[in-house]
Structure 1
């Protein structure tokens, strides 16, 4: 660990983490409810609907990042049951995902990052975005998620009577878009193989050079990926500070002879 970077006390982390999680998840659920049950899509208000879809896509990314922190126990430090409960509920609402399956897969990713056996990595297509994403999608979007999404869409369309165009634009597209956003900024860019650009260390990861606002907008700072692999105990909202403190350079510096 970087001796020059310290996290706040657990009590502060819990307060900040829970407040941000409530804001993100609450906004996500609130916007979804408005988009499905209040808003009426017409030819005149489709630009507004498109803006809502973009915002909902970003909030969906945020919900998954909250769940990701729960997997590492950094959402509510020292409270594994609370982390598990929050992660279970939000992952189920996100796409019918199972908490234990995703948590175990993500921890395996940290152990095997960029090596055979890493569930997030496509060793046969380490530089091909489309094929790698297809592999990624097949591994995580299983029968449980398919059943969940079809059930939700069926109820919205056939029971409640929400137009299919509205469901696709304001539910389907944000969900699919968030998966692409998470994959591109949180998996492909950090872990893809680039000719002439070797990885810094055993984590087989690199960080983007975005500023704080761009990093937040693209993937809730998950693009500061080498910092995350070096310090998985750092919650998403503290990753910019970790990057400024040089957390991503610690292991590389340790390998250079004095």
Structure 2
């Protein structure tokens, strides 16, 4: 039996890595294709505005996907047992997303898991646990520093002055999706799961020390909102579960809770 189990586990790990890396490649390829098209192929004018806005909306969602893939890499669930590959992919995607540093973001995320929804949680705003706007501002101040600003200025400057990309393309097909994705990640991936619904004391909406709740969304809405990160309690219970497996974890939790 031990020999059989030893064979099954590596097989499962390989399958998880194959699935995760394939989906990651699809997300990255989609993001890069839309980004190149938005900067160099699409002309922004009134006649093309519906197409441009549709592209911006899709690029916003794919930008969320970039971050979620990097998040899986932080937990080692993108390619289990391959820390260097996780670090290389996660670091590249975080830098591509907003010039973020891999080690700093990874350390901060592990602090979040050690003390979720508390004053020691870098993702949490203990002074405004019920205000999405104030919490979002705090969130930006903590994570969006001068390296990210420098990265964006250099990228935008290169596009505009080096390649002659029109400002309208940069604003609508780079800046708008980037800002929108940060709001989407914050609202569905941080604020809604960890927000307090009561002014003082412990929140009865939280089931345990993870101070997290899961959405009641179906799989399609869950995928559209934040790549299933709304099933947040399940993520905190088992951080090694990849994003694409969270719906199954959520179904299992609901079935277990039924009398």
The answer to whether structure 1 residue 204 and structure 2 residue 207 are counterparts is: no
> SS state of the match for residue 241, structure 2?
coil
Residues 64-73 or 32-41, more deviating:
32-41
Q: How many residues align?
A: 246
Q: Is the 8 A contact 1:129 1:188 kept in 2?
A: yes
Give the distance between the partners of 1:145 and 1:70, measured in 2 at CA: 20
User: 1:62-211, aligned counterparts within 5 Å?
Assistant: 62-195=65-198, 197-211=204-218
Within the candidate set 18, 40, 48, 1:45 is matched to 48
1:24 deviates by 0.3
Structure 2 portions without partners, runs of 5+: 1-8
Q: Is the 8 A contact 2:194 2:213 kept in 1?
A: yes
Q: Is the 8 A contact 2:193 2:230 kept in 1?
A: yes
Give the distance between the partners of 1:118 and 1:231, measured in 2 at CA: 18
1:25 deviates by 0.7
Give the distance between the partners of 2:157 and 2:149, measured in 1 at CA: 12
Give the distance between the partners of 2:88 and 2:255, measured in 1 at CA: 31
Give the distance between the partners of 1:110 and 1:247, measured in 2 at CA: 23
The answer to whether structure 1 residue 230 and structure 2 residue 233 are counterparts is: no
1:248 deviates by 10
Structure 1 portions without partners, runs of 5+: 1-5, 254-258
The answer to whether structure 1 residue 31 and structure 2 residue 38 are counterparts is: no
CA RMSD of aligned residues (A): 1.8
Dislocated runs of 4+, deviation >6 Å:
247-250
Give the distance between the partners of 1:225 and 1:249, measured in 2 at CA: 17
TM-score (norm 1): 0.92
Q: 1:247 to 1:227 in 2, by over 3 A?
A: farther
Residues 30-39 or 64-73, more deviating:
30-39
Output one character per residue of 1:55-98: Cα deviation in whole Å (capped at 9) or x when no partner. 00000001100000000000000000000000111111111000
